[in-house]
């Protein structure tokens, strides 16, 4: 099986490593620094699934998208603020109808892709495995909360995703096809909106946020607002109410990622643009449109925008 992975960041390298381990051909499209390191050193995965190293001959990589060969799947593993640009690039190069699977944070990425591709070609992946990239060619797996879920927001034929789920499973990453991907994506929104930005503002791992009454109150209000917006948009989740979600959040979800530092905190430290607008920013925009009080999400969004845009010391 041939898989093109667009985006060689932590998630792209992480998913690629499991596909390579299963014996499939992977081609990565990434930034020049990353591609050079991969071609020189190969790809190394470390962490809770064990350490494996793949020589440069086990996969291929490039800095530009040039689809001179066909692929069975396209995995989009880029930051949400690049979604429109990548969709446009893929449209200009892509001449087949292989499934495009969006392995991204946030809400709204699939809608952007449908401007360029048929809805039947667009799928989503819910990934809540924690990947970090300490070096351009090295990915660490820091936490694995649940299986990767693959599915369609548009009633697409999910049977064609079975081969990809099987490949990831054979490589060692638990994965499954689901008919409830919207619930999974909103579950991830609930989790990320509560933890990602707040962990970045306070500069602490996720677990620390659950140990202080003040941060707990903030998270609970953020989650209540997300539920209101989600229901206002006509979607549901795996939990009937914010109260039911919070029970599982504190008992299972938060303890399983106690030491994990948010990707947003890593981006702030590195001086990179964050994904805040695809997370709490979505809740703010949709909440205001629905005339729902989203003041807590708005405050945390504004704080991240300040940190993201503040002048660098000279």
- With H, G, I as helix, E, B as strand and everything else as coil, classify residue 90: helix
pLDDT digits (tens, 9 = 90+) for 123-179: 999 998 888 899 999 999 988 878 999 999 999 999 999 999 999 999 999 999 999
Query: 111 or 312, which is more confident?
Result: 111
**Token digits of residue 142:** 């820091």
Give kind and range of the element (H or E) at residue 113: helix 109-113
Question: What are all long-range contacts of 200-204, with beta carbons under 8 Å and residues at least 24 apart?
Answer: 200/262, 200/264, 200/265, 200/267, 200/268, 200/274, 200/304, 200/307, 201/300, 201/303, 201/304, 201/307, 203/265
CB atoms closer than 10 angstroms to residue 179: 10
Regarding predicted confidence, which is higher, 95 or 9?
9
How high is the pLDDT of residue 261? Answer: 85
Q: How would residue 308 be classed by pLDDT, with cut points 50, 70 and 90?
A: very high
CB 22 within 8 A of CB 45: no
- Per-residue model confidence (pLDDT) at position 314: 62
pTM: 0.92
CA atoms within 13 A on the CB side of 89: 16
Taking residues 245-254, what's their average pLDDT?
94
User: Can you give the pLDDT at residue 313?
Assistant: 66
- SS3 category, 210: coil
Nearest alpha carbon to residue 262 among 169, 194, 177: 194
State both tokens at 16. 């690629």
The mean pLDDT value for 72-99 works out to 89
At 212 the pLDDT is 94
pLDDT, one tens digit per residue, over 48-64 is: 999 999 999 999 999 98
Residue in this structure with the two tokens 């660098």, named with its chain if needed: 312
Mean pLDDT value of segment 264-269: 91
Kindly tell me the burial class for residue 223, based on how many C-beta atoms sit within 10 Å of its own C-beta (0-12, 13-18, 19 or more). Answer: buried
Number of H-type helices and E-type strands within the chain:
13, 12
Segment 285-301 shows an average pLDDT of 97
Domains in the chain, ordered, with CATH? 2-179 (3.40.50.720), 182-307 (1.10.1040.10)
Mean pLDDT of the chain: 94
pLDDT tens, position by position, 177-197:
999 999 999 999 999 999 999
C-alpha 66: how far from its chain's center?
24
Round to the nearest angstrom and report the end-to-end CA distance of the chain. Answer: 50
- pLDDT interval class at 228 (50, 70, 90): very high
CB 26 within 8 A of CB 16: yes
Give the H or E element holding residue 38.
Answer: helix 32-41
SS3 5: strand
Token pair 């919207």 in the structure block, residue: 182
């Amino acid at each position: 099986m041939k898989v093109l992975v667009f985006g060689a960041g932590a998630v792209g390298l992480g998913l690629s490593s499991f596909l390579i381990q299963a014996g499939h051909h992977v081609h990565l499209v990434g930034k020049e620094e990353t591609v050079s390191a991969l071609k020189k050193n190969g790809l190394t995965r470390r962490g809770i699934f064990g350490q494996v190293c793949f020589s440069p001959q086990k996969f291929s990589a490039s800095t530009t998208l040039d689809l001179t060969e066909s692929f069975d799947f396209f995995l989009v593993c880029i930051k949400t603020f690049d979604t429109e640009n990548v969709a446009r690039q893929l449209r200009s190069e892509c001449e087949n109808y292989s499934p495009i699977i969006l392995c991204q944070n946030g809400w709204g990425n699939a809608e952007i892709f449908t401007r360029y591709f048929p809805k039947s070609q667009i799928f989503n992946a819910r990934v809540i495995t924690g990947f970090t990239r300490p070096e351009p060619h090295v990915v660490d797996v820091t936490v694995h909360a649940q299986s990767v879920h693959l599915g369609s927001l548009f009633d697409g034929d999910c049977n064609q995703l079975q081969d990809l789920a099987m490949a990831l499973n054979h490589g060692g990453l638990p994965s499954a096809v689901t008919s409830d991907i919207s619930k999974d994506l909103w579950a991830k929104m609930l989790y990320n909106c509560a933890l990602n930005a707040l962990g970045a503002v306070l500069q602490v791992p996720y677990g620390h946020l659950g140990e202080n009454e003040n941060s707990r109150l903030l998270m609970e209000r953020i989650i209540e607002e997300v539920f209101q917006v989600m229901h206002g948009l006509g979607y549901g989740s795996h939990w009937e109410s914010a109260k039911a979600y919070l029970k599982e959040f504190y008992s299972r979800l938060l303890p399983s990622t106690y030491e994990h530092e948010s990707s947003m905190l890593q981006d702030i430290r590195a001086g990179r643009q964050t994904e805040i607008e695809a997370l709490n920013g979505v809740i703010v925009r949709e909440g205001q449109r629905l005339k729902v009080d989203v003041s807590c999400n708005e405050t945390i969004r504004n704080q991240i925008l300040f940190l993201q845009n503040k002048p660098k010391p000279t």
